[in-house]
A = this chain, B = another copy of it.
Amino acid sequence: MAGRPRNPQLDGDILDAARHLIRTAGSAGCTIGTVASYAGVPRSTVYSRWPSRHALIDAAIAPLFTNPVPDTGDERADLRSWLDADDALISGPFGIAAATLLATSREPDGPMLADLATAIQQRRRDVGRRFGGQDEGAQVKIRAVYDAMWGRCVTTGPDHGDGPRASSMPEELMRLILDA
């Protein structure tokens, strides 16, 4: 924040602009310049808050991956809601941007991520505990399902000759968890 007094409204407007650009133009289309232009602020206003486009994308998308896991008392319905919601998020533009940023961060000299990697690790642990309870084997399965959603995000897709995919993934995963 470079010692600058926070203006939460302005911060929010900049992050909204970043999310709009990621959704419509991908993470490559989300730069300090395009975000400043879309938010109608000088580039220096963005730079004073986030020192790089990686930091800006990190801050813009990490909160999307921390939405609460449902708890209605109906375990199976909650699991289905979570699978549907997280699979839609992970296989959509924000998931693809997140996968690009996460993979890039693991390369030598890749950018350090302040929020996204932690948010996704936390999510992985939370869903394991929420749906696996005290059963360590069930936790392993739930975490593997969560990992598989991310894996499909990078390995599968219409552009990889696999046809439409969103329709079949949660069903396959439900079977993996529930029929085992």
Contact = CB atoms under 8 A, between A and B. Distances in A.
A4 interface: no
Copies of this chain held together in the complex: 2
A108 B25 contact: yes
A147 interface: yes
Given A96-B103, A103-B154, A137-B179, A117 B161 contact: yes
- Size range of the interface on A? 35 or more
Nearest to A102: B154
Interface string A108-139: 11101000011011001000000000000100
Interface of A: 24-29, 93, 96-97, 99-100, 102-110, 112, 117-118, 120-121, 124, 137, 140-141, 143-157, 159-162, 172-173, 175-176, 179-180
A9 B153 CA distance: 36
B151 A103 contact: no
- A interface, over-half SS: helix
A28 B107 CA distance: 8
Contacts of A143: 172
Given A26-B109, A112-B159, 4 more contacts: A25-B108, A100-B103, A144-B173, A147-B155
Closest CB pairs A-B (n = 9): A147-B151, A150-B151, A26-B107, A151-B151, A180-B180, A147-B148, A99-B103, A100-B103, A26-B108
